[in-house]
Structure 1
Amino acid sequence: MKKGAVIIGGTSGIGLETALYLKKCGYKVLIGGRSKSKDKINLSYKHIDVTNISSIKNFFSSVPLNCLGSVIYSAGISSNTKNIQKFNVNEYRKVHDVNILGAILTLKYSYPLLKKTKGKVVIISSLASRTYSKLSSFEYTVTKAGLSGLVKQLAIEWAKDGILINTIFPGMVKTSMLSKSVKPNSLKRIESLIPLGRVARPMEIATAIEFLISEKNTYITGSGVDINGGQFLSG
């Protein structure tokens, strides 16, 4: 029987697409976010603000143990800063608090439950952390790169507890969010940079995540998986 999966940042984008796929696979899925998805979906939802410690504590203190076989951290934001000359401390802190600090606190407060279930964790990072970003912000690239260090550190720290933790590096994914935010001509230019010539399908991300949290994964931890059509090779 498949265990439960909690997806933080599961109300939109990759997080939502993964939640829908996992439910089809038979997982008990709980999505967490600041607000419910605008899409009509049949998924359990619980409020969480990853920039608020009390909110994170409250979220995990009331999550049923059978829901927490795995934690997927998909929360992430960007900004408009393109280079260090325009760096703004306040802007950086906003991005840092969601992308890095939110992940750290989520893992800190989910750890007692993960220890009991010998759970699995997947952190959704970004292609930007593997190379650099032509499209996202300076703050986004720096904070997403920091997630790799977090995963490696916890892979060692949690190994004795039987908790496996990994990260993935997706490029652009064909979600409803992408369709709304990127014009067709811009998308074609982006796809020309990808060796496989197209952006990822949501299913290609979700199936990789499902493997990493499934009973099939018994030995992979501290690793990063590129799911970006080979774009990490070409920058």
Structure 2
Amino acid sequence: MTDIRFDFSGRTAIVTGAASGLGREIALELGASGAFVIVSDLKDEACRAVVDEIAAAGGKSKAFAADVTDEDAMREMASFAEKDCGGLHMAVNNAGIGGPSMPTGDYPSQDWRRVIDINLNGVFYGMRWQIPAMLRTGGGSIVNMSSILGSVGFANSAPYVAAKHGLLGLTKTAAMEYAQQGIRVNAVGPAFIDTPLLSANLSPEVMEGLAALHPMGRIGKPAEVSALTCFLLSNRASFITGSYHLVDGGYTAP
């Protein structure tokens, strides 16, 4: 976690994909800043491990295991926030997968559908029920986790790139629709970040190659993404909505 602190006391947040990586870091920072955090991921045991971490730091949270591609589960999570956690004020739609690395002409249709379903449809299902819940609390803030690949292409990653581009359109549209009803919606675009999604699947040589793609000469840290995400959720970002904010070490600058 960073040394930046916001006051989220009395506010409840949903974080999807919160069992590891960026989601875990964001959940920990929100908990340390006074928010009641609903820690969501596929497996209950993994969610509860993060809940325990938040509790050890003096924060409050509950686990809610769910698949973001299941719209009923997303509806139930928003209802859980309202009925059991004092309402819903913030959401970070972070759950996502990378998918196989393959040229577009060879990409298996079932893998295309899976990546789109998790990375794009899952965000819509979340927002579909988060927004009505936030309206009932008088407003709120949503951050959707995009990527640098929401603005540039990347060979052999067609569905991931397509989903992250689509997520930006969804973010901007929702921001326009609810701007006068007290709900802000923004997107964050990390470059390559040192999370288990990368380090557990790539060799040190490949990781070094990825680091070299960034003008800063390194891969980002989860805390650097969490800091921006929490700022966008906070009242300090009260005039920011419909925006896409990069955390990329200069990756998209050239």
> SS of the counterpart of 1:166?
strand
Report the counterpart of residue 151 of structure 2 in structure 1.
Answer: 130
Match of 1:25 in 2: 33
Of residues 50, 54, 61, the one that matches 2:68 is 50
> Which runs of no fewer than 5 residues in structure 1 stay unpaired?
none
Aligned residue for 2:214?
194
Contact 1:5 1:67 survives alignment (8 Å): no
Q: TM-score, normalized by length of structure 1?
A: 0.92
Q: Which residue of 2 aligns with 1:14?
A: 22
CA separation in 1, counterparts of 2:239 and 2:115?
A: 32
Aligned partner of 1:12: which letter? S
Partner Cα distance (1:178, 1:146) in 2? 23
Paired residue secondary structure (2:235): coil
Q: 2:165 aligns with which of 145, 148, 152?
A: 145
Question: Quick one: structure 1 residues 165 and 194, their matched pair in 2 at CA, closer, same or farther if it must change by over 3 Å?
Answer: same
Alignment of 1:104-183 (within 5 A): 104-117=124-137, 118-134=139-155, 137-183=157-203
In 2, the alpha carbon distance for the partners of 1:58 and 1:39 equals: 18
Counterpart among 75, 92, 100 of residue 120 in structure 2: 100
Q: Provide the C-alpha distance between the structure 2 equivalents of 1:141 and 1:129, rounded to a whole number of angstroms.
A: 6
Q: Secondary structure of 1:212's partner?
A: helix
Amino acid at match of 1:216: R
Corresponding residue SS for 2:252: helix
| Alpha-carbon offset, residue 140 of structure 1 | 0.7
Q: Which moved more, 1:97-106 or 1:33-42?
A: 33-42
Displacement after TM superposition at 1:194 (Å)? 0.3
How large is the RMSD of aligned CA atoms in angstroms? 1.8
Matched residue type, 1:94: R
Residues 92, 143 of structure 2: 8 Å contact kept: yes
Q: Please, which runs of 5 or more residues in structure 2 have no aligned partner?
A: 1-6, 55-61
Give the conservation status (yes or no) of the 8 Å contact 1:115–1:161. yes
Q: How many angstroms does 1:67 deviate by?
A: 5.2
CA distance in 1, matches of 2:142, 2:49: 27
2:77 corresponds to which of 53, 59, 75: 59
Report Cα offsets for 1:146-199 as digits up to 9, x if no partner: 001001101110112110000011011122443322222211111111011111
CA gap of 1:38–1:187, structure 2 versus 1, over 3 A, is farther
TM-score using structure 2 length: 0.86
Q: What is the rounded CA distance, in whole Å, between the counterparts of 2:105 and 2:176 in structure 1?
A: 37
Work out the CA distance in 2 between the residues paired with 1:131 and 1:105.
Answer: 25
Corresponding residue for 2:59? none
Cα separation, 2, equivalents of 1:155 and 1:38: 29
Q: Deviations over 1:79-99 (max 9, x none)?
A: 214222113322211111111
Within 1, Cα distance between the matches of 2:134 and 2:103?
39
Between the two proteins, the alignment pairs up a number of residues equal to: 233
What is the alpha-carbon distance in structure 2 between the residues aligned to residue 148 and residue 177 of structure 1? 22
Summarize deviations over 1:119-151 as a string: whole Å, max 9, x none.
Answer: 0000000111211225x6211111111001001
Percent identity over paired residues:
27
